[in-house]
Amino acid sequence: MRAHRMLLAAALAAIVLLPSTSCVLAPEIKDKIIELALGASHTAAFVSQGSVNNINETRTIDLAVDIDLPGLLDDAGVDISDVKDIRMSGAKYRVKRLDPTPDRRIVNGTVTAQRGTGPVTAIVTNFSEDVNSVTSFKTAPLDAAGVALINQILADLLTALKAGQQPTNMSITYTLTGQSTPSAPTDFEWELQLDVTIVGTVKVTVVQ
Amino acid sequence: MRLRIAGTLALAAAVGMGWAPPAGAQLEENLGALSGDNAKGYLGPLPKALSGTLNTSIFQTGFVPRSGFTMTVGARLMGMTFDDEDRTYSPKDPPGFTSTESVRAPTIIGPTQAVLQNGQSGTVLYHPSGFDIEEFAAATTQVTIGSVLGTRAVVRWLSVNFTDDDIGKFTLFGIGAQHSISQYFSNLPVDLAAGAFYQTFDVGDDLVQSKALQLNVTASKAYNWLQPYVGVGYDQLDMEAHYASSTGGGTIDVDFDTETSAHFTVGAQAKLAVVHLYGEANLAATNGFAVGLSFGNGF
């Protein structure tokens, strides 16, 4: 008899509770504007071969081509006019191919960036790294002046694309300098990756 | 109440017929900018929500005939409400970024504004917005067929392919059984059955993959056309996500901690000829409600 009462109470509880489910169980379709955050990266690879002690390698890259912002936005379904900001979010580096010399190490490493024929600006400063093993990405110590330079190029890129113009002066020359120890010709590959963060709005339809 | 259920089932049917919510496409884009740790935080509310909905609305009766043919075919709609605390998470610095301040970033259900986090030397990192979702609902079709030795099979399935919107597909499949305990006792005051149910729920080809398990004991008693029931159970849900990183390339695989919880159900089912209508409340990983409509013989 007690079980009967319990189950009748359960039925009553269900009848009382269910009308309050109108929100949960009556989904609506709503259009919303959300802010999509996208990431992109820009990589400069260096091959260091034959240098003894003093390393000085350069790489010139077209940032607009390397990032391909229109393609990125197209894939994400974001119109260029809806992009609110694009900035540098960080940098990381890794050894892609190890140096065969035991205990090979790069010290006093610096990477500078030069936009076109503009001033040479430090972007990564004072790093050291063992290069006789392949590594995963490590966060690079950044210089504020270099970050400001990249942010300016990114802002110019966005401005040009929003205006429907071809971006100009997007070429950056990166130079890696440093010393290697022990003294012997180097033979390794190393890459620097600059990460970019982009935010833009997109309209979505959500069933909730 | 019937109109409300009809409306929601019609909506579920409309979605099933290809009325696509394009939010899924943006989910993958939002994930692409996140490291594995932060994707875990961003999708954090999902395991509980999926556990609370998928493991719901499976068994509505403790009555399983010892033999004879019984069959029901119907639709189920399960829903739950998110807690406010699920709307944000504390992001971790991804490789390459060193933050100089802590922020609370939106989860998938959080606010529709991205959050900017300042980092070393003037860098910034944007954390993607959420979709501002307060409730979560899932719909499925379910079939029960019995009985052999007091056992019935339960199967649920739903597959929706949003090819036009590049969302991919949503696939839900579940299979299980319910076995009568009452048949072993002559004087139980209620019908009692034990059940087990296993489900998979996938979003996209492998964007989000989840596996759910429910073990349950249901007690019910029929009073003419009305049958109240209660259930006690154990829920488990495993979830993983796989997506392409937009910084650095490669695929990021995220395994979420297994979600387990007790599950209590209280509900009532009405049987009008071959029409079954039920509603239930659930206390589980998340608290929610479910309603359903099915056709067939037997409770």
pLDDT in tens, A2-16: 556 656 565 555 555
Kindly calculate the radius of gyration of chain B based on its CA atoms and give it in whole angstroms.
Answer: 21
Report the pLDDT averaged over residues B146-172.
Answer: 77
CA distance B286 to B90: 21
When comparing pLDDT for B138 and A114, which is higher?
A: A114
When comparing pLDDT for B95 and B237, which is higher?
A: B237
When comparing pLDDT for A99 and A5, which is higher?
A: A99
**Residue B286 reports pLDDT greater than 80:** yes
pLDDT value at residue B99:
96
- Nearest Cα of chain A lies from the Cα of B198 at a distance, in angstroms, of 23
Interface contact B221-A7, CB threshold 8 A? yes
User: Residue B1: pLDDT band by 50, 70, 90 thresholds?
Assistant: very low
Could you tell me if B10 lies within 8 Å of chain A, comparing CB atoms?
no
**Strand, coil or helix: A4:** helix
Report the range of poorest mean pLDDT among B184-188, B210-214, B260-264: B184-188
**Strand, coil or helix: A155:** helix
pLDDT value at residue B116:
97
CA distance A90 to A123: 10
3-state SS string for chain B: CHHHHHHHHHHHHHHHCCCCCCHHHHHHHHHHCCCHHHHHHHCCHHHHHHHHHHCCCCCCCCCCCCEEEEEEEEEEEEEEECCHHHHEECCCCCCCCCECCCCCEECCCCCCCCEEEEEHHHCEEEECCCCCCCEEEEEEEEEEEEEECCEEEEEEEEEEEEHHHCCEEEEEEEEEEEEECHHHCCCCCCEEEEEEEEEEEEECCCCEEEEEEEEEEEEECCECCEEEEEEEEEEEEEEEEEEECCCCCCEEEEECCCEEEEEEEEEEEEEECCEEEEEEEEECCCCEEEEEEEEECCC
**Residue B203 reports pLDDT greater than 60:** yes
CA distance B182 to A87: 67
Of B216, B289, B236, residue with least CA distance to B61: B216
Q: What are phi and psi of A15, to 5 degrees?
A: -65, -40
Report the pLDDT averaged over residues A36-63.
Answer: 85
pLDDT value at residue A107:
86
Chain A residues whose beta carbon lies within 8 Å of the beta carbon of residue B248:
41, 137, 193, 195
When comparing pLDDT for B170 and B286, which is higher?
A: B286
Query: Which of A19, A139, A151 has the CB atom closest to B122's CB atom?
Result: A151
Chain A residues whose beta carbon lies within 8 Å of the beta carbon of residue B228:
7-11, 14
Residues in contact with A75: Cβ distance below 8 Å, sequence separation at least 6, in sequence order: B29
Report the residue of chain B nearest A88, measured CA to CA: B123
pLDDT value at residue A188:
87
**Residue B150 reports pLDDT greater than 80:** yes
How many A-B residue pairs are in contact by the CB < 8 A criterion?
229
Q: What are phi and psi of B42, to 5 degrees?
A: -65, -40
Interface contact B121-A7, CB threshold 8 A? no
Chain B residues whose beta carbon lies within 8 Å of the beta carbon of residue A14:
228, 266-268, 279-281
Could you tell me if B21 lies within 8 Å of chain A, comparing CB atoms?
yes
Q: What are phi and psi of B106, to 5 degrees?
A: -65, 145
When comparing pLDDT for B189 and A103, which is higher?
A: B189
pLDDT value at residue B251:
83
Q: What are phi and psi of A2, to 5 degrees?
A: -65, -40
Interface contact B122-A32, CB threshold 8 A? no
pLDDT value at residue B212:
96
Which residue, among A7, A36, A196, would best test binding to B if mutated, counting the most B CBs under 10 Å from its CB? A7
Could you tell me if B296 lies within 8 Å of chain A, comparing CB atoms?
no
ipTM: 0.85
pLDDT value at residue B93:
94
Could you tell me if B99 lies within 8 Å of chain A, comparing CB atoms?
no
Residues in contact with A190: Cβ distance below 8 Å, sequence separation at least 6, in sequence order: A45, A46, A48, A93, A94, A95, A96, A106, A129, A131, A176
User: Residue A151: pLDDT band by 50, 70, 90 thresholds?
Assistant: very high
Interface contact A24-B289, CB threshold 8 A? yes
Report the residue of chain B nearest A124, measured CA to CA: B121
pLDDT value at residue A16:
52
Interface contact B220-A7, CB threshold 8 A? yes
Could you tell me if B118 lies within 8 Å of chain A, comparing CB atoms?
no
pLDDT value at residue B195:
97
Taking residue A163's Cβ as centre, other Cβ atoms within 10 Å add up to 10
